[in-house]
A = this chain, B = another copy of it.
Amino acid sequence: MPKSVNRQIILKRRPQGLPKSEDFDYREVPLQAPKDGQILLRNVYLSLDPAIRGWMDGREDSYQPPIPLGHIMRAVTIAEVVDSRNTNYSPGDFVMGLNGWEDYSISTGTGFINKIPADNQLPLPVYLSVLGTTGLTAYFGLLDVGKPQPGETVLVSAAAGAVGSVVGQIAKIKGCRTVGIAGSAEKCAQLVNTFSFDETIDYKSTDSLEMEIKRTCPDGIDVYFDNVGGGMLQAALNCLKDGARIVMCGAISTYNATEPVPGPANLWQLLVHNARLEGFIVSKYASQFPEGVSQLADWLRDGSIKHKEHIVPGLRNTSDAFLKLFSGENVGKLIVQMD
A residues near B (Cβ < 8 Å) are 61-63, 229, 238, 248-251, 254, 260-281, 284
Contacts and interface: CB of A to CB of B under 8 A. Distances in A.
A281 B274 contact: yes
- This chain: how many copies in the complex? 2
A271 B248 contact: yes
A262 B265 CA distance: 4
Nearest to A264: B263
A74 B62 CA distance: 46
Contacts of A271: 63, 248-251, 279-281
B267 A61 contact: no
Contacts of A264: 262-263
B63 A272 contact: yes
Contacts of A260: 265-266
A270 B265 contact: no
Given A238-B61, A263-B262, A270 B274 contact: no
A66 B250 CA distance: 36
Q: 3 tightest A-B contacts by CB?
A: A263-B263, A271-B279, A262-B262
Contacts of A249: 271
16 contacts: A61-B269, A63-B271, A63-B272, A229-B267, A251-B268, A262-B263, A263-B266, A267-B279, A268-B279, A269-B279, A270-B279, A271-B279, A272-B281, A274-B280, A276-B277, A276-B279
Contacts of A279: 267-276
Contacts of A274: 279-281, 284
B263 A248 contact: no
Contacts of A280: 271, 274
A27 to B, nearest CB: 31
A263 B267 contact: yes
A159 B273 CA distance: 24
Given A250-B271, A251-B268, 20 more contacts: A62-B272, A63-B272, A254-B268, A260-B265, A262-B263, A263-B264, A263-B267, A267-B277, A267-B279, A268-B279, A269-B279, A270-B278, A271-B280, A272-B281, A273-B279, A275-B279, A276-B278, A276-B279, A277-B277, A278-B278
